[in-house]
Structure 1
């Protein structure tokens, strides 16, 4: 079975909590004996996992990144994520919270995607979707930045983003895009019902077809000198406004 690398305390701990049997081995920094590392190793041993003492050079090579925090795991790939249809059907059947989807158009930086997944997890997003072209996939850097959210938030790369957005419309989900030149702001629209929030990459923004597919466009009010926000920051602003409205509507 294919394996991949996870690194950093958060990413590996989440896999340890959710699917410990999928972890093949864990490499830890043999020079670290602090409380955080001791607690982590104890938990891994309780799960019956293979632990290998390694030095910083080996950990950096395994992770392909020096910011591994002394923890690198080799893990088996989890079963494929369900389709967007299956996820939405499950949300609708649960009748606990209206669907909330984050669509990312053209986000190619793994740090931005990881941060978007992290905020999506915190805001209770049911799925994050992106086009297969012009987007970054899940990799070790994304998982590290996401601090475990890459394991908990479904990330679906779709063949045609506009088509997927139109299919969500057929389910009664409103498609709200963000644009600096929109005449109404984020705070002028109702986000308490079924919503998909669409954000483009910083700079170029959404592609034209994606923009045309949106039901409404909104801007984030900017009171200072900068003209725009990083996409992960913008995602946090938009998603938590949706969460705020939903709490108020309960």
Structure 2
């Protein structure tokens, strides 16, 4: 069986719809015409990032650090964003039809009638960490959907920063921002060149770093200690790199009594953040 058929990809769905349409036509019933996907058009101008979706754009509008250059928005989305006067916006904004945004983002992007081109947020150095007691560290997690979902959970549970490496990490994008559902605008993004050195710096600042590993020697809750916690997660498949495993304060596992012994990295992050927040709340 091909990968397309096993995974249920859009290609497989397209041909399945064609087969159904052919059967309907032979039976004399209504013909279901498959929707033709619209590919993404030209990207944003150099140095800009394209963001879309109501939550993403609303959070960007409310973030004074976000410099928006242009907006395309439908009348319905404008109302849902709570904007009464499009002419009063401090950047170029244009009322359009949904299909006009489809031509730029592609019809697979769930833009909800609004898209902006803006300057990307500038990552901060580790020295800008501040007094937060909880941070998330990602060890070469490259999937923007996963990173966006981790961002959303990090903001939901009050983490003060997301720390990533400058290489082998996704850049800011519409896909990442949409998965984050506005969280991108509410948390410090910190980039480091050397993750092991950054972990050592976190230790000096009083953090206990806990690397999540499905084969970790202790349960996560039993690994918590101290006043500051850094949760360290690796990419799906390969997990934490060896140097990272050697540098963290402790390796720990999530207690999962079911038949499946591991979670998607974003789901694991959400569970770990919940547990860490509960621990820190009573300190």
Q: Is the TM-score greater than 0.5? A: yes
Which residue does the alignment assign to 1:12?
57
Aligned to 1:198: 232
Q: Give the structure 1 partner of residue 105 of structure 2.
A: 63
Q: Are the counterparts in 1 of residues 210 and 223 from structure 2 also a CA contact under 8 Å?
A: no
Partner of 2:71: 26
2:189 matched residue in structure 1 = 155
State the 1:191 CA deviation. 4.8
**Contact 1:5 1:62 (8 Å CA) reproduced:** no
Unaligned runs of 5+ in 2: 1-45
Provide TM-score, normalisation by structure 2.
Answer: 0.76
- The equivalent of 2:142 in structure 1 is 108
Report deviation, 1:129: 1.1
SS at match of 1:42: coil
What is the aligned residue count? Answer: 236
For 1:229, the equivalent position in structure 2 comes to 263
Instruction: Describe the superposition over 1:124-145 as per-residue Cα deviations: whole angstroms up to 9, x where unpaired.
Output: 1111112223221221110111
- Gap change, CA 1:55 and 1:39, over 3 Å in 2: closer
Q: In terms of Rg, which structure is larger?
A: 2
Change (3 A) 1:47 1:154: farther
Determine if contact 2:70/2:93 at 8 Å carries over to the other structure. Answer: yes
Query: How far has the Cα of 1:77 moved from its partner?
Result: 3.6
Q: In the TM superposition, what whole-angstrom CA distance separates every residue of 1:22-62 from its partner, at most 9, and x where no partner exists?
A: 222221135xx3xx641315256385244312233331233
Matched residue SS, 1:228 = coil
Instruction: Output the aligned Cα RMSD.
Output: 2.2
Q: Which stretches in structure 1 are left out of the alignment for 5+ residues?
A: 92-97
Provide closer, same or farther for how the CA distance between residues 229 and 68 of structure 1 changes in structure 2, counting only shifts above 3 A: same
- Of 190-199 and 6-15, deviating more is 190-199
Q: Of the candidates 145, 150, 168, which is equivalent to residue 179 of structure 2?
A: 145
Q: Secondary structure at the match of 1:225?
A: coil
Comparing both chains, which one has the higher relative contact order based on Cα–Cα distances under 8 Å and sequence gaps of 6 or more?
1
